[in-house]
């Protein structure tokens, strides 16, 4: 009986697209929990429209990690998928993702498919360059906005800390050989349309990395960087 936790903040435009393939995949006893946090739109209403297939737990407290922790308090199953509310999995991606969690693999993500529809040339060129970055499309988390863990893998940390780089925090809990990208269908990740919006996203990501190093230096020290690898691939 797998479980899915979806934190969502003002995602009325995409939450339906996010939930639809999960519900229609037909996985027995699938537990889907959506946590709308500090929403001022119809996110919760749209999620409730899926009936008994989706459990909605609202909170007025903003923040992704708070929403994830709240969702986990109500979750009861493994493997467990953490999915951003604006990510859309292709049909079959969910099953392939859970099937990847075998043997020594304790965390898995779908391959990210960056959708640049309506984006400026600068944004499209940036996302094209990501093909050379090992982080995107290999291992997990991998920039897809989704990662699934086994019960053993989830036992490696307590509640999600209140930090920006929650994916980075999770990534450092696992050795490289324990993390895989699923070979099945991937996940649609919508790119920002303007370079200014992209810059804000990347600035926040950089701040998240600095915060992670400052608050969890021992955890960061476990992973040995390999400079120049992306440049060689490009």
Q: How confident is the model at residue 223 (pLDDT cuts 50, 70, 90)?
A: low
- Measured in degrees and rounded to the nearest 5, phi and psi for residue 187 equal -125, 140
* DSSP helix/strand/coil, 112: strand
Q: What is the pLDDT of residues 22-50, one digit of tens each?
A: 999 989 999 999 999 999 999 999 999 99
Alpha-carbon distance of 69 to 47, in angstroms, equals 19
Is residue 110 within 8 Å of residue 187, measured between CB atoms? yes
Is residue 30 within 8 Å of residue 22, measured between CB atoms? yes
End-to-end CA distance of the chain: 41
Whole-prediction pTM value? 0.92
pLDDT of residue 234: 46
- Measured in degrees and rounded to the nearest 5, phi and psi for residue 198 equal -65, -40
Q: What is the pLDDT of residues 121-165, one digit of tens each?
A: 999 999 999 887 878 878 999 999 999 999 999 999 999 999 999
Number of residues that this document lists for the chain: 234
Q: What is the pLDDT of residues 202-222, one digit of tens each?
A: 999 999 999 999 999 988 887
Is residue 51 within 8 Å of residue 21, measured between CB atoms? no
Alpha-carbon distance of 54 to 47, in angstroms, equals 7
Tell me which residue of 145, 129, 141, 147 sits closest to 189, measured CA to CA: 145
């Amino acid at each position: 009986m797998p479980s899915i936790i979806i934190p969502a903040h003002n995602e009325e435009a995409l939450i339906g697209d996010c939930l639809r393939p999960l519900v229609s995949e037909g996985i027995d006893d699938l537990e889907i929990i959506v946590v709308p946090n500090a929403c001022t739109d119809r996110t919760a209403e749209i999620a409730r429209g899926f009936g008994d297939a989706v459990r909605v737990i609202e909170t007025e407290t903003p923040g992704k990690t708070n929403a994830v922790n709240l969702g986990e308090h109500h979750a009861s199953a493994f493997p467990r998928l953490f999915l951003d509310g604006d990510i859309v999995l292709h049909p079959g991606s969910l099953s392939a993702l859970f099937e990847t969690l075998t043997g020594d693999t304790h965390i898995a993500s779908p391959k990210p498919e960056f959708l640049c529809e309506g984006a400026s040339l600068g944004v499209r060129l940036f996302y094209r360059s990501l093909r050379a970055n090992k982080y995107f499309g290999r291992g997990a988390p991998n920039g897809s906005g989704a990662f699934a863990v086994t019960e053993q893998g989830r036992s490696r940390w307590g509640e999600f800390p209140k930090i920006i780089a929650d994916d980075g925090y999770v990534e450092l809990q696992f050795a490289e050989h324990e993390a895989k990208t699923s070979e099945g269908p991937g996940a649609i990740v919508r790119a920002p349309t303007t370079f200014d919006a992209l810059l804000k996203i990347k600035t926040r990501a950089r701040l998240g990395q600095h915060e992670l190093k400052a608050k969890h230096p021992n955890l960061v020290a476990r992973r040995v960087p390999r400079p120049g690898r992306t440049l060689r691939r490009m």
